[in-house]
Amino acid sequence: MKSPLRLLWALGPLGLSGCASLYFPPPPHAPMLTHQGEFYGAVSTNQHTNYALQGAYGLTNHLAVAGTFSSLHRKKSDKTEDIDFGEASLGYFTRLPDKRVLEVYVGGGGGATQRIERNDAQITTRTLDGSLSKFFAQVNYAKKKQKTLHLFNRDFPLTYGAAMRLSYMQLNNFTIDGLPAPGENNVFFEPITFTRTQIAGPVQLQLISGQIFGLRHNDYLKAANSVFQIGIVINFDKNTTLDD
Domain boundaries, the chain: 3-233
Q: Are residues 177 and 125 in contact, defined by beta-carbon separation less than 8 angstroms?
A: no
pLDDT for the residue 208: 93
Residue 111 CA to residue 120 CA, distance in Å, equals 30
pLDDT for the residue 210: 92
Residue 192 CA to residue 208 CA, distance in Å, equals 7
Name residues whose C-beta falls within 8 Å of residue 21's C-beta, 6 or more positions apart in sequence: 220, 221, 222, 223, 224, 225
Q: What φ, ψ does residue 191 adopt, rounded to 5°?
A: -90, 135
pLDDT for the residue 159: 84
Compute how many other C-beta atoms are within 10 angstroms of the C-beta atom of residue 219. 12
pLDDT for the residue 236: 83
All residue ranges of the chain with pLDDT < 50 are: 1-19, 240-244
Q: Which CATH architecture has domain 3-233?
A: Beta Barrel (2.40)
Residue 119 CA to residue 124 CA, distance in Å, equals 7
**What residues are paired with 214 via a beta bridge?**
188
Q: Look at residue 9 and give its three-state secondary structure.
A: helix
pLDDT for the residue 145: 59
159, amino acid identity: T
pLDDT for the residue 4: 38
Q: Look at residue 8 and give its three-state secondary structure.
A: helix
Q: What separation in angstroms does the CA of 237 have from each of 41, 63, 165, 206?
A: 12, 15, 26, 18
Residue 216 CA to residue 17 CA, distance in Å, equals 18
pLDDT for the residue 157: 73
Residue 162 CA to residue 219 CA, distance in Å, equals 30
Compute how many other C-beta atoms are within 10 angstroms of the C-beta atom of residue 200. 8
Q: What separation in angstroms does the CA of 178 have from each of 16, 18, 78, 143?
A: 32, 25, 20, 50
Residue 33: which of 238, 176, 236 has the closest Cα? 236
pTM of the model: 0.84
Residue 113 CA to residue 23 CA, distance in Å, equals 7
Residue 46 CA to residue 131 CA, distance in Å, equals 23
